[in-house]
């Protein structure tokens, strides 16, 4: 019996120790909850709901190109208005050309007005066809009508970089210096541009002289045809009569002579005249018909000749205009041996170094266009009917918490089909671009399906639900906190409309428990 009591006491002791151990364990691991308070403000504005999709940000770029081509003037054939033109520009665009230069031997001959005249050597140069800094987003260069054929050999004259003022990641403003080129290369390039203008002026004068010569010749031919036609019939009849009279005269002389030798001679002449009469009459007839045809078509022949008048001069004038524009644009591009930024932005690419020659395949600089920011998201086929080009959307960025931006749907592309889903790429342009936005940032785009305007709202987290009623803790200017009953309305899942109980600007508290 005593043994049983001892066992019972021992069991009781073990249970007691276990209970104490468990109690100590739980007390040792017990977590305390701490209430963290955050202040927010009652605001007035719009609350929207819709389809929200995530996408990535793309920041556009602007390229300042070096695109120089040569205006070439062939003075060796200037009397035909022969020349060719190229284009040149230094603009913000997505195109480039090849820098090339042509030159020919000095003292080329140009034939004008039927006389030979010495002309300066044919030298073609490069320039720009637009003022430096002109910005465009489409590619290509301005086409200039050709004025004829081109002669000459390639020249190595280019602009050589002396110093670079920009680097990748650097913020620049339009008009700030980006490159300095050597004085020698600038002077040489400018000299060729000036020679191109001088050669184009000579070609224009030659073309004008040729046009004048063509005009005078056409007028002379017209007058000649008119005069010949007016007497063509009389001339024809006179030629026929002369042939017949010659035969009649020989026949009369033969009939009246009694001298055998003379008769034989006359007979021979008469036979010869009869044989030639038909041919001569046919030739006279053909000449008459040709003269009359020219007479009848004199006006048309004159107009055909005059059709070419002015064409060579017009083409030569276009060449001169282009050469002059190139020189002026080059002078705008390179000021005091320096090239300036054509737009503002962050430098994305700066490819030149001191000693490099500028070439059309390498742009002067590429800038991030912070004003051209787009977002592309994929919208599932079940939701795409709710999206239309021109729709306004709400945008938030993971990098800019608590900030909302607006945008517009600008494009809906063809369906992108995978093995299990069908979605449509949708492009959105931002109306206002946040500072320091970068390519690749994540953005959430909400395509609005419902919106209420000009209402009071607070964060959903500020509303406390108790006994089927809603409350908000309001903090006054003295720091006192009061629990206020409110009437709520529409919610977008983040904010809730406050219909009664609060006013705009009130400070409310958002409470959350944090375990420690």
Which DSSP string do the residues of 122-136 spell out, in sequence order? -B-EE--SS-TT-B-
Residues 298 and 391 in one domain: no
In-domain check, residue 6: no
Q: Is-contact 85 322, C-beta < 8 A?
A: yes
CATH of the domain at 455: 2.40.30.170
Q: Is-contact 384 414, C-beta < 8 A?
A: no
Q: Is-contact 445 377, C-beta < 8 A?
A: yes
pTM score of the predicted model:
0.51
In-domain check, residue 28: no
Higher pLDDT, 58 or 436: 58
In-domain check, residue 152: yes
| Strand locations in 267-326 (E) | none
User: What DSSP element (H or E) covers 171?
Assistant: strand 171-172
Residues 348 and 377 in one domain: no
For the chain, how many structural domains are there in total? 2
Residue 6 backbone dihedrals phi, psi, to 5 degrees: -65, -45
The region of weakest confidence among 154-158, 219-223, 284-288, 328-332 is 154-158
pLDDT of residue 419: 58
pLDDT of residue 275: 82
Residues 378 and 237 in one domain: no
Look at residue 167 and tell me whether its pLDDT is greater than 80.
yes
Which token pair is 188? 């040489």
Question: Can you say how many angstroms the Cα of residue 500 is from the centroid of all Cα atoms in its chain?
Answer: 56
pLDDT of residue 313: 85
In the DSSP assignment, the letter for residue 301 is H
Q: Which residue has the tokens 């983040």?
A: 494
Per residue in 414-431, pLDDT (tens digit) is 877 665 788 899 999 988
Give dist(CA 304, CA 383) in Å, integer: 68
Most confident range (mean pLDDT) of 60-74, 238-252, 469-483 is 469-483
pLDDT of residue 175: 94
In-domain check, residue 9: no
Q: Is-contact 200 319, C-beta < 8 A?
A: yes
Q: Which residue has the tokens 């002309």?
A: 119
pLDDT of residue 418: 64
pLDDT band with cut points at 50, 70 and 90 for residue 273: confident
pLDDT band with cut points at 50, 70 and 90 for residue 229: low
Residues 278 and 425 in one domain: no
One-character DSSP codes across 23-70: HHHHHHHPPPEEEEEEEEE-EEEEEEEEEEEEEEEEEEEEEE--EE-E
**Cα–Cα distances in angstroms (integers) from residue 319 to residues 123, 129, 417, 502, in the given order:** 14, 12, 53, 75
**Cα–Cα distances in angstroms (integers) from residue 117 to residues 3, 57, 114, 205, 466, in the given order:** 146, 65, 10, 12, 106
Buried b (16+ CB within 10 A) or exposed e, 273-310: beeeeeeeeeebeeebeebbebbeebeebbeebeeeeb
Q: Is-contact 497 488, C-beta < 8 A?
A: yes
Which range of residues forms the domain containing residue 378? 34-60+366-515
Residues 72 and 47 in one domain: no
Give dist(CA 400, CA 437) in Å, integer: 9
Give dist(CA 314, CA 317) in Å, integer: 5
Pairing outcome for strands 67-68 and 88-89: antiparallel
Look at residue 25 and tell me whether its pLDDT is greater than 80.
no
| Residue 175 Rama label (left phi>0; alpha psi -120 to 50; beta) | left
For residues 474-495, average pLDDT: 89
Please name which of 137, 133, 168 lies closest in space to residue 61, comparing C-alpha atoms. Answer: 137
Please name which of 170, 53, 116, 102 lies closest in space to residue 412, comparing C-alpha atoms. Answer: 53
**Domain final residue, candidates 363, 391, 421:** 363
Long-range Cβ pairs for the range 476-481 (8 Å, 24+)? 476/507, 481/509
In-domain check, residue 499: yes
Question: Mean pLDDT, the chain, as a whole number?
Answer: 75
pLDDT of residue 417: 64
pLDDT band with cut points at 50, 70 and 90 for residue 362: very high
In-domain check, residue 411: yes
Look at residue 298 and tell me whether its pLDDT is greater than 70.
no
**Domain final residue, candidates 311, 330, 363:** 363
Residue 384 backbone dihedrals phi, psi, to 5 degrees: -65, -25
Residues 321 and 370 in one domain: no
Look at residue 93 and tell me whether its pLDDT is greater than 50.
no
Which token pair is 80? 């035909």
In-domain check, residue 247: yes
Residues 86 and 180 in one domain: yes
Most confident range (mean pLDDT) of 31-40, 314-323, 507-516 is 314-323
pLDDT of residue 36: 82
Residues 429 and 498 in one domain: yes
For residues 454-467, average pLDDT: 91
pLDDT of residue 256: 85
Residue 409's SS3 state is strand
Residues 344 and 374 in one domain: no
Rounded to 10 degrees, the C-alpha dihedral 116/120/126/128 comes to -80
Which token pair is 272? 């010869």
Task: Using CB atoms within 10 Å of the CB of residue 325, give its burial: 0 to 12 exposed, 13 to 18 middle, 19+ buried.
Answer: buried
pLDDT of residue 178: 96
CB atoms within 10 A of CB 121: 14
Beta-carbon-side half-sphere exposure of residue 142 (alpha carbons within 13 Å): 20
For residues 453-478, average pLDDT: 90
Residues 303 and 385 in one domain: no
**Domain final residue, candidates 363, 381, 408:** 363
Residues 245 and 343 in one domain: yes
Give dist(CA 291, CA 235) in Å, integer: 11
Residue 313's SS3 state is helix
Question: Can you say how many angstroms the Cα of residue 205 is from the centroid of all Cα atoms in its chain?
Answer: 35
Look at residue 393 and tell me whether its pLDDT is greater than 80.
yes
Residues 432 and 488 in one domain: yes
For residues 163-181, average pLDDT: 93
For residues 109-121, average pLDDT: 36
Residue 479 backbone dihedrals phi, psi, to 5 degrees: 95, 0
In-domain check, residue 90: yes
Per residue in 321-351, pLDDT (tens digit) is 988 888 888 898 899 999 999 998 889 899 8
Higher pLDDT, 230 or 129: 230
For residues 226-232, average pLDDT: 66
Q: Is-contact 298 226, C-beta < 8 A?
A: yes
pLDDT band with cut points at 50, 70 and 90 for residue 285: confident
Q: Is-contact 190 361, C-beta < 8 A?
A: no
Task: Using CB atoms within 10 Å of the CB of residue 16, give its burial: 0 to 12 exposed, 13 to 18 middle, 19+ buried.
Answer: exposed
Residue 83, beta-bridge partner list: 73
User: What DSSP element (H or E) covers 73?
Assistant: strand 70-73
pLDDT of residue 404: 84
Per residue in 252-270, pLDDT (tens digit) is 887 888 888 888 888 888 8
Q: Is-contact 49 394, C-beta < 8 A?
A: no
Which token pair is 328? 């002026």
């Amino acid at each position: 019996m005593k043994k049983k009591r001892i066992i019972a006491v021992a069991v009781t002791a073990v249970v007691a120790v276990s209970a104490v151990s468990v109690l100590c364990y739980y007390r040792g691991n017990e977590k305390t909850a701490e209430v963290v308070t955050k202040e927010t403000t009652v605001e007035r504005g719009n609350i929207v709901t819709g389809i929200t999709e995530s996408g990535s940000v793309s920041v556009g770029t602007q390229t300042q190109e070096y695109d120089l081509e040569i205006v070439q003037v062939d003075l060796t054939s200037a009397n035909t208005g022969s020349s060719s033109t190229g284009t040149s520009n230094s603009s913000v665009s997505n195109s480039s050309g090849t820098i090339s230069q042509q030159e020919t031997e000095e003292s080329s001959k140009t034939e004008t007005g039927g006389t030979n005249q010495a002309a300066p050597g044919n030298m073609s140069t490069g320039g720009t066809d637009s003022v430096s800094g002109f910005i465009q987003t489409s590619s290509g260069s301005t086409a200039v009508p050709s004025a004829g054929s081109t002669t000459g050999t390639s020249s190595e004259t280019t602009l050589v970089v002396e110093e670079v003022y920009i680097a990748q990641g650097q913020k620049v403003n339009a008009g700030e210096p980006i490159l300095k080129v050597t004085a020698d290369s600038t002077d040489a390039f400018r000299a060729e541009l000036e020679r191109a203008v001088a050669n184009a002026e000579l070609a224009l004068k030659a073309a004008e002289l040729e046009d004048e010569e063509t005009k005078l010749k056409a007028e002379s031919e017209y007058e000649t045809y008119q005069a010949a036609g007016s007497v063509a019939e009389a001339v024809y009849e006179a030629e026929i009569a002369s042939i017949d009279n010659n035969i009649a005269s020989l026949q009369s002389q033969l009939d009246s002579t009694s001298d055998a030798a003379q008769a034989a001679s006359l007979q021979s002449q008469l036979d010869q005249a009869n044989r030639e009469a038909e041919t001569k009459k046919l030739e006279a007839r053909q000449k008459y018909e040709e003269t009359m045809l020219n007479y009848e078509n004199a006006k048309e022949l004159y107009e055909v000749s005059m059709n070419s008048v002015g064409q060579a001069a017009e083409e030569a004038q276009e060449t001169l205009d282009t050469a002059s524009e190139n020189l002026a644009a080059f002078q705008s591009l390179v000021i005091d041996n320096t090239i300036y930024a054509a737009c503002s932005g962050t430098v994305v690419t700066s490819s030149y170094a001191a000693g490099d020659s500028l070439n059309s395949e390498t742009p002067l600089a590429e800038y991030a266009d912070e004003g051209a920011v787009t977002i592309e998201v994929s919208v599932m086929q079940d939701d795409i009917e709710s999206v239309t080009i021109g729709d306004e959307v709400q945008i938030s960025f993971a990098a800019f918490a608590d900030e909302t931006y607006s945008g517009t749907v600008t494009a809906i592309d063809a369906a992108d089909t995978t093995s299990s889903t069908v979605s449509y790429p949708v492009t959105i342009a931002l109306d206002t671009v946040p500072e320091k936005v970068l390519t690749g940032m994540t953005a959430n785009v909400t395509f609005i399906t419902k919106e209420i305007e000009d209402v009071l709202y607070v964060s959903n987290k500020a509303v406390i639900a108790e006994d089927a009623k809603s409350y908000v803790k309001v903090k006054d200017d003295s720091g006192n906190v009061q629990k206020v009953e409110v009437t709520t309305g529409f919610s977008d899942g983040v904010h809730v409309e406050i219909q009664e109980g609060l006013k705009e600007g009130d400070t409310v508290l958002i409470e959350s428990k944090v375990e420690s």
